[in-house]
Amino acid sequence: MVLRSEILVNKNVLPTAEQALPGRDTPMTLPEKHYVFKDTPLLGPFFENVGFAIFGLGCFWGAERRFWQREGVVSTVVGYAGGYTPNPTYEEVCSGLTGHTEVVLVVYDQDKVSYGDLLAMFWELHNPTQGMRQGNDIGTQYRSVIYCTTPEQLEEAQASKQAYQAELTKAGFGEITTEIAEAPTVYFAEAYHQQYLAKNPEGYCGIGGTGVCLPPSLQGN
């Protein structure tokens, strides 16, 4: 008999559905309010004109902080997406046996910040050419992803990827490895991960970009 822990040694290789951990039916218990925005409900209800964006750009602690600092962002929630295991724990995701990557769900006021603005932040806050890692954080849970909640987001994300690739190539970087796809289910992370760096200001933040900017013509659309 081969144990799951013996199936996958290399955390840079995505598991198959058969190899993935079984997970659980019960989602994590989350606080009702956003820790930074205080009276704002973490998961809604929200007013009518909000948009929902999902990004994975490495460790979700630092990524979430940068998005909640952006004017026009209404709420942020960290979680796991893109894999097989339902409602995984952080430890299960770190095992490399869920297929998930760490993501941030960004809820934003479309009158104050556009999806194009958020895409520019996404590209510029990390190095999207590194495959199954981000800086010193290595493994499938740190891969770069954009999960789109509308057809318009999907089209805009793909166009921005092409534009940013051109700028990266000029600067000597390789090919973008970011996965761009329709949004799968996001399984929200444990309560202690939510707004982690607001609760632990000296905590770890692995966010760091390439120094290459998205052309202004692609921002704010």
Query: If the chain, 221 residues long, is cut into consecutive pieces of 10 residues, what is the mean pLDDT of each piece?
Result: 51 95 98 96 95 98 98 98 98 97 98 98 98 96 98 98 98 98 98 98 93 80 53
The residues assigned a catalytic role are 59
Angstrom distance (rounded) from CA 108 to CA 165: 26
E strands along the chain, which residues? 50-56, 73-81, 101-109, 133-134, 137-138, 145-148, 179-182, 186-188
What would the DSSP string read from start to end of 141-187?
Answer: GG--EEEESSHHHHHHHHHHHHHHHHHHHHTT------EEEE---EE
Burial 80-91 (b: 16+ CB within 10 A, else e): bbbbbbbbbbee
What is the model's pLDDT at position 7?
Answer: 52
